[in-house]
A and B are shown apart, each in its own frame.
Chain A
Amino acid sequence: MDLPTLLTVVVLAVFVGFEVVSKVTSTLHTPLMSGANAIHGIILIGAILVAGQTTEPLPLVLALLAVLLATANLVGGFVVTDRMLHMFRGRNPAKDNAAKPGTSPKEPSA
């Protein structure tokens, strides 16, 4: 990438980031943090590329460690965000989540 292209991409991405995130309600700030956290787990792509080009043993071990850590960041981040967002429901909860195991055992009392 040459410098002008690079700067173009960065500047546009900054604007998109500011624009998109400034619309997030404070109700969803924790999922936002967690979702953004999941997205930077995409460093996994870089880790895979590096691990796929190494032949020396020590760099390979380090690269595989990077793959492992990045996968944990990516997978864990999306899973935990999904779990959080699953809990946000409106006043009339749909029936489809009543039968799910592991959700709240509480029955509506009224």
Chain B
Amino acid sequence: MNLLTAEATALLYLVVAVCFILALKGLSSPRTARRGNLIGAAGAALAVVTVFFSVRLENLPAILVAIVIGAGIAAPIARRVQMTQMPQLVALFNGVGGGAAALVAILELAEHDDGWVRAAVVFTLVVGAVSFSGSAVTVAKLQELMTTRPVVFGGMRWVMTAVVVVLLVAAVLVIATGSVVWATVLLLLGLVGGVLLVLPVGGADVPIVISLLNAFTGLAVAASGVVLNNVLLLVAGTLVGASGTILTRAMASAMGRGVAGILFGAFRGGSTAGGGAVSERPVRSSGPEDVAVMLGYAQRVVIVPGYGLAVSQGQHTIAELADALEARGVEVSFAIHPVAGRMPGHMNVLLAEANVPYESLKEMSEVNPEFRNMDVALVVGANDVVNPAAKTSPGSPIYGMPILEVGDAGQVVFLKRSMRPGFAGIENELLYSPKTTLLFGDAKDSLTKVLGAAKAL
């Protein structure tokens, strides 16, 4: 139906674009974030209604069926997925979005004989395909369907170079001739390229790649806005591209690395996964009761949650422990490293799920000067993000990464599975410090025991 004039359609799309900007703006505070997201969703719904009334569409019943199926698959998954599996789900949705953009581009190719619009088609095709297959690999890595270690095979560099060269040739041919055959070749090369791009990335760096691919999909959508002459797609895609780029850089700097180093580091031999040497030096370890006493009679306790807490699903137990300590008059706060968990800010989501109020969650810059006023720092399943080697030993793979300075606290308690070094494969000097106590075991089990002992104090 064309009930709406071109002008009315353009104005409605402008409203939608504003809704999307408000959705992102709402995220500047947890208080306004949810409302912002709902405004964004309402905008998206308005956009879909608008498109149905703006132009004459063939195949209307089939389109509606496809929408119902798509929503019918995605909504229940989105509602049921566990919060620890959030990164996989975001990667999955990102991938299908990229795939959709690539399909739209290849189908639109025949409609254009303008060179630079064809260039936009080429861009969308390649970037959408890379995002689709790259996201598929990140999902496989995060879900542990494949190894989380960097995968590099002999001659990979040459395969990659060949893919890029053929891709460039195909791109020129598509722009010059508008050939659908070469566009298909381009699509396939994009898919291969996405796999090759993500395979060499190690487990801890996968979240950064998800963010990067998210930005890629945004750019692909923006380019398809050029192809379809649709300002809304252009604005929305550019917003996502810009925000994704900022987020990717913020994350990379939180880990003290460059984005290029993360993507191509494995090629240079400086693999992100290290050895596993265990030192024989003595450490001080103790039982859950001692830890409970230390915590229960302290004035200020700061909890540093890490990846180990997330994988053992111990977030509810640690929230209970914090409640129990606060009931005894202990001041409890949580120090969150920006890359704790499996995604930046993921730990915040996990703790929010366990009902930890967001006022208790302190960011790194806020909490670092406060460690010296803390009686006990309780480190649960984190290692690299508190390793002083990041500041003191220039040869270390994590050198330069900003860390939580737990060593400044009066006493440090580590809940650890074993003495095995963390993901970066380097020893943590802090474990051998005289003020450090270790409690070995699965994070959740240990926390449950400490909680029981703390309640009995």
Docked Cα-Cα span, A93 to B323, in Å, equals: 14
* Majority secondary structure, B binding face: helix
Judged by a CB distance under 8 angstroms, whether B361 is at the interface is yes
Q: Which residues of B contact A (CB under 8 A)?
A: 16, 20-21, 23-25, 27-31, 33-34, 36-38, 40-41, 44, 47-48, 51-52, 55-60, 62-63, 66-67, 69-71, 73-75, 77-79, 81, 83, 86, 89-90, 93-94, 96-97, 99-101, 103-104, 106-108, 116, 210-211, 214, 217-218, 220-222, 224-244, 246-247, 250-251, 254, 316, 319-320, 323-324, 326-327, 336, 338, 343-346, 348-349, 352-355, 357-361, 363-364
A30 to B237, CA, bound (A): 19
Cβ proximity bits A80-108 to B, threshold 8 Å, 1 near / 0 not: 11111111111101000000000010101
Contacts of B58 in A (CB 8 A): 52-55
Chain B residue numbers with a CB within 8 Å of A81 are 37
Q: 7 closest Cβ contacts across the A-B interface?
A: A17-B242, A71-B70, A52-B57, A29-B345, A76-B74, A73-B97, A13-B238
Q: Determine whether the beta carbon of B100 is less than 8 Å from that of A89.
A: no
Q: Given that A43-B233, A70-B97, A70-B100 are contacting pairs, would A17 and B62 also be in contact in the complex, using a CB cutoff of 8 Å?
A: no
A24-B44 Cα distance, complex, nearest whole Å: 22
Q: Which residues of A contact B62 (CB under 8 A)?
A: 51, 60, 64
Whether A75 lies near B349 (C-beta < 8 A) is no
In the assembled complex, the Cα of A108 lies from the Cα of B359 at a distance in Å of 17
Contact sample, A vs B, 12 pairs, CB 8 Å cutoff: A24-B24, A26-B338, A36-B214, A41-B44, A42-B16, A44-B48, A65-B66, A78-B41, A80-B86, A85-B30, A89-B358, A110-B323
Other-chain residue from A6, A34, A51, A68 in contact with B86 (beta carbon distance below 8 A): A34
Query: From residue 38 to 57 of chain A, which have CB atoms closer than 8 A to chain B?
Result: 38-55
Q: A1-B229, A46-B230, A89-B355 are in contact. List 16 more A-B contacts (CB 8 A).
A: A6-B234, A14-B238, A20-B25, A28-B33, A40-B101, A42-B20, A42-B221, A43-B97, A43-B101, A48-B52, A50-B104, A76-B75, A79-B78, A80-B78, A106-B320, A110-B327
The interface on chain A, measured as residues whose beta carbon lies within 8 A of the other chain's beta carbons, has a size of: 84
Contact pick for A62, options B96, B103, B217, B227, CB 8 Å: B103
